[in-house]
Amino acid sequence: MSKQKNTATIAEEALRQSEDRYKAFISNSSEGIWRFELDKPIDTSLPVKKQLKAVYKYAYLAECNDAMAKMYGFSKAEELVGARLPDLMDPQDQTNIAYITDFITSGYKLNGRESVEKDKFGNTRIFENNLVGIITDGLVYRAWGTQRDITTQKSAEERQQFLEKVSNKLVVSLDQQVTLQEIAQLIVPYFADYCRIAVLDKSKNISEITVTHKDPSKINLAASLYESYKDMPNLTHGIPSLIKNGKPEIIPVIDDKLLKKFDSSSTMIQLVQKLGLKSYMGVPLIARGKVLGAMTFSSVKEKRYYSNYDLLFVTELARRIALTLDNIRLFKDAQEEIQERERITEVLTLQQERLHLAQEAANIGVFEWDAISDRVQWSEHMERLYGLQPGTFKGTYKEWLKYIHPDDRNRIRDEFYEHIKKKAIMDFEFRIVLPDGTVEWIYSKQQVFFDKKRNPIHTIGININVSERKQLMINSAFLAEASKILSSSLDYETTLHNVASLAVSQISDWCIIGIIDKNAGYQQITMQHKDPKKVKWAEAVGKEYPPALNANSGIAKVLRTKKPEFHPYISDDMLVAVAKDERHLKLIKQLGMTSVMIVPLLLHNESIGALTFISSETKRRFTKADLSLAEELAQRAAIAIENARLYKNSQDAITVRDDFISVASHELKTPVTSVKIFTQVLLKNAEKNNDDKSIKSLVKVNKQIDKLTALIYNLLDISKIQSGHLEYSMKQFSFDEMISESIEVLQHMSDKHTIILEGKSNSLMYGDEDRLIQVISNLITNAIKYSPLADKVVVHVSVSKKRITVAIQDFGIGMDKEHLQKVFERFYRVSGTTDSTFPGLGIGLYISKEIVLRHGGKLWVESSVGKGSTFYLELPVATK
């Protein structure tokens, strides 16, 4: 018996112990352990949907542990037991539907499935379930299971995913505006009902603010809430405080209790109430220690209250967003920098191009000289200026000197060394010889850079080809000089010769001038080259191959067409065309012509000759300016030639005239003397016979004969003066007597004028008395003749310093200043030779001056038109 009892006791004991263990396990387990019973067993052969419906309809919690009750917000199992399944699990929730469906289809056995349930407060909880149904004869009666609360883990996972989503958006975005908008749309409604993001610009002002609300119609309301508080002082929360403090902030619960603390009439509070704000948190957007903006999250949903856990999450979110914003900015800055750099590069390239073009256009070569290494760098154009292929300049100072014309080289070297220590800016002008022998003028200007000890270390400079300008200067100087030569003499052959030799030293290597002679045709007057040997050689060639005057080129053509020939470039073909045979071609090739110009000497549109300029050794190419110069020179030369010819013609005419006068006066002298004698005989007879009528006529005839005689003698005198044969018979005589006697004779000749003698010389005079009487008579006769309306002539004699001065003053027509000198010239008359009021030949004063000069005296006149003239005669007193 006892043994039985024992066995039963042991079994009971074991059972009890097992139940205790079960209870202990259940109550101590952190897992929720439960048993659901069904009001009515469910037929497992029913369609799944029907079974599902039945599960939700008949299941109720029959048993659970405290741990499970706690998962729903209760503290004890009793508080939860009895709950019906739909109370805990929303039957509409898709996750739940799938969960139960799977439970059914798997034969009421399922592990590790999630359910979405609600706790006592209505908060969503997520549980992981393991469960098994008790089936007997195809009917399910109940289910046992365990569950674990994975809500936190789940939301952490979800948030992680959210963060990833956000990050993905952030990564691809480079547009701040778009990014913020998209992120705000992710946040709302997942994490907030409305969300505000503000971003600062570089100067720390809020540049952008976005508001997103789950209900788009409330966006404006949310926006105006911000407007209502943004400028309020002492704000404890919101965007401005976040930006100012750079710290996250949270108001977990916004309820009436809290709002009561504020002035209920303020717009801000009214708006908060209108929006139904429940909970709030905000985070600054910080990257690299700098506040870039801020975000706020607001909940208006029943029961969504933010926790510190949430704040932690949004802080992380904000960190990522800030990082992206910072990246966008950096990218933008970099982009801008790149663009700026690109722009600068572009401008720089443009400028360099412009500089290059300007240098090209201005013909400017650029060089740099490094004094320490003595390396000289030349720009491409510089090389071109020196006739070099790009990249072929050898790059030293010495090498440069080689290109300088031998005549300029030493000067430049000396100047260079003399100035380089003193001057920051230097400029030179010199000639260079290009590899092909061409001579060019260069203007060089350079800036010298010194070290602290004032040693030159570096120079930068430019070279400009100034040949044209230089040649223009040379040309105009040449033209001036040539003109001077042309007007220096009337011997045109000599002057042309001189002009040609001037030309070869300044404008061309060869200069040939030829003139057309009426009888002999074109005659070369001069051929010039600085090397006389070459001239000889060319003359020989010219003799062997005389230029054909009918040629269709060269001088012949120019003479014929009266147009210049201008060949800045001479090609071989041109030489071939001109050459008469192989030998001739060879000879003219030897000349090495590079440029030729031939201009006609034109006079009254007729060719009278030609000027030829040839450039050879200097390789100079004549320009249009040179051609103009040649034409100008030709014009002046033609005028000079004409002048010379006219002069020669007039000289010839004068000789003819003088010869004629001399012959005529000689021839006339004898018959006039006979006539005079004969008249005097007749006059004597008439006086004897008192034949008054005849006397009157004969006196008149006699007077005319005297005039004629005087004229003939004057003409004779002139030809004697011309031939230097005017003779003087010198003796001593009383000057005063000579004067008064002359006046007495002259007074007889004039009825109208009284000749008044003033003063005396009381001097003796040594000279040809008759000739001096001739002078006095001439001057007084003129005084009377040129003062027809006056009634006197004053003769004033004075003596001073052994010189007698006679002033013969009239009150007549006088004369202009311009004639005062000229009246003493041969045949010069103020009123011309055809004048009838004052007849005369213009020889009296000429002869008088001649006589006075021969007596060591002077003769001059002072006069003014309408007032009269005073002729002065000054003669030396006789010295014993």
Residues 768-827 that bind ligand ADP (CB under 6 A): 778, 782-783, 786, 810, 812-815, 823
Q: Which two tokens stand for residue 774?
A: 């001739």
Taking CB under 6 A as the criterion, the residue among 869, 873, 874, 877 binding ligand ADP is 869
Closest separation in Å from C-beta 661 to ligand ADP = 15
Distance from C-alpha of 423 to C-alpha of 456, rounded to nearest angstrom: 10
Question: In this complex, which beta carbon is closest to ligand ADP, that of residue 116 or of residue 710?
Answer: 710
Question: In this complex, which beta carbon is closest to ligand ADP, that of residue 569 or of residue 827?
Answer: 827
> Of 8-16, 199-207, 419-427, 837-845, which segment contacts ligand ADP by CB under 6 A?
837-845
Burial 387-410 (b: 16+ CB within 10 A, else e): ebeeeebebeeeebeebbbeebbe
Angle between helices 532-544 and 582-591 (to 10 degrees): 160
Question: In this complex, which beta carbon is closest to ligand ADP, that of residue 41 or of residue 812?
Answer: 812
DSSP string covering 141-158:
EEEEEEEEE-HHHHHHHH
Question: Containing H/E element for 16?
Answer: helix 2-28
Question: In this complex, which beta carbon is closest to ligand ADP, that of residue 465 or of residue 863?
Answer: 863
Q: Is 240 in the site for ligand ADP (CB under 6 A)?
A: no
Per the CB < 8 A criterion, the answer to whether 728 and 720 are in contact is: no
Closest separation in Å from C-beta 741 to ligand ADP = 21
Taking CB under 6 A as the criterion, the residue among 601, 830, 852, 875 binding ligand ADP is 830
Non-local (6+) Cβ contacts of 405 within 8 A are 430, 431, 432, 433, 439
Q: In terms of C-beta density within 10 A (0-12 exposed, 13-18 middle, 19 or more buried), how is residue 764 classed? A: middle
Closest separation in Å from C-beta 739 to ligand ADP = 17
Taking CB under 6 A as the criterion, the residue among 456, 609, 844, 857 binding ligand ADP is 844
Closest separation in Å from C-beta 846 to ligand ADP = 6
Question: In this complex, which beta carbon is closest to ligand ADP, that of residue 564 or of residue 840?
Answer: 840
Q: Is 613 in the site for ligand ADP (CB under 6 A)?
A: no
Distance from C-alpha of 249 to C-alpha of 283, rounded to nearest angstrom: 6
Q: Which two tokens stand for residue 570?
A: 């001479």
Q: Is 496 in the site for ligand ADP (CB under 6 A)?
A: no
Distance from C-alpha of 345 to C-alpha of 352, rounded to nearest angstrom: 10
Closest separation in Å from C-beta 849 to ligand ADP = 9
Question: In this complex, which beta carbon is closest to ligand ADP, that of residue 237 or of residue 720?
Answer: 720
Q: Is 870 in the site for ligand ADP (CB under 6 A)?
A: no
Per the CB < 8 A criterion, the answer to whether 387 and 409 are in contact is: no
Q: Which two tokens stand for residue 193?
A: 């009902």
Per the CB < 8 A criterion, the answer to whether 698 and 692 are in contact is: no
Question: In this complex, which beta carbon is closest to ligand ADP, that of residue 600 or of residue 842?
Answer: 842
Closest separation in Å from C-beta 745 to ligand ADP = 18
Closest separation in Å from C-beta 752 to ligand ADP = 15
Per the CB < 8 A criterion, the answer to whether 507 and 478 are in contact is: yes
Closest separation in Å from C-beta 796 to ligand ADP = 15
Q: Is 843 in the site for ligand ADP (CB under 6 A)?
A: yes
Closest separation in Å from C-beta 841 to ligand ADP = 5
Residues 84-123 that bind ligand ADP (CB under 6 A): none
Question: In this complex, which beta carbon is closest to ligand ADP, that of residue 495 or of residue 778?
Answer: 778
Closest separation in Å from C-beta 726 to ligand ADP = 16
Q: Is 276 in the site for ligand ADP (CB under 6 A)?
A: no
Q: Is 842 in the site for ligand ADP (CB under 6 A)?
A: yes
Q: Which two tokens stand for residue 709?
A: 């005689």
Closest separation in Å from C-beta 490 to ligand ADP = 26
Q: Is 845 in the site for ligand ADP (CB under 6 A)?
A: yes
Closest separation in Å from C-beta 502 to ligand ADP = 42
Q: Helix %, strand %, coil % for the chain, to 5?
A: 50, 25, 25
Total binding residues for ligand ADP by CB under 6 A?
A: 21
Question: In this complex, which beta carbon is closest to ligand ADP, that of residue 31 or of residue 717?
Answer: 717
ω before 189 within 30° of 0 (cis)?
A: yes
Question: In this complex, which beta carbon is closest to ligand ADP, that of residue 615 or of residue 778?
Answer: 778
Taking CB under 6 A as the criterion, the residue among 831, 854, 862, 878 binding ligand ADP is 831
Distances (CA, A) of 390 to 383, 387, 436: 6, 9, 16
Q: Is 840 in the site for ligand ADP (CB under 6 A)?
A: yes
Q: Is 873 in the site for ligand ADP (CB under 6 A)?
A: no
How is residue 362 annotated by DSSP? T
> Of 136-144, 246-254, 416-424, 844-852, which segment contacts ligand ADP by CB under 6 A?
844-852
Closest separation in Å from C-beta 873 to ligand ADP = 13
Q: Is 750 in the site for ligand ADP (CB under 6 A)?
A: no
Non-local (6+) Cβ contacts of 168 within 8 A are none
Distance from C-alpha of 534 to C-alpha of 142, rounded to nearest angstrom: 140
Residue at shortest CB range from ligand ADP:
840
Q: Is 841 in the site for ligand ADP (CB under 6 A)?
A: yes
Burial 505-536 (b: 16+ CB within 10 A, else e): eebbbbbbbbbbeeeeebebbbbbbeeeebbe
Closest separation in Å from C-beta 675 to ligand ADP = 23
Closest separation in Å from C-beta 827 to ligand ADP = 8
Question: In this complex, which beta carbon is closest to ligand ADP, that of residue 189 or of residue 840?
Answer: 840
Q: Is 852 in the site for ligand ADP (CB under 6 A)?
A: no
Per the CB < 8 A criterion, the answer to whether 615 and 622 are in contact is: yes
Partner residues linked to 442 by β-bridges: 430, 465
Distances (CA, A) of 430 to 407, 500, 552, 747, 822: 9, 25, 40, 80, 52
Per the CB < 8 A criterion, the answer to whether 588 and 437 are in contact is: no
Q: Which two tokens stand for residue 849?
A: 């001056």
Q: Is 829 in the site for ligand ADP (CB under 6 A)?
A: yes
- Binding region for ligand ADP (CB under 6 A): 778, 782-783, 786, 810, 812-815, 823, 829-831, 840-846, 869
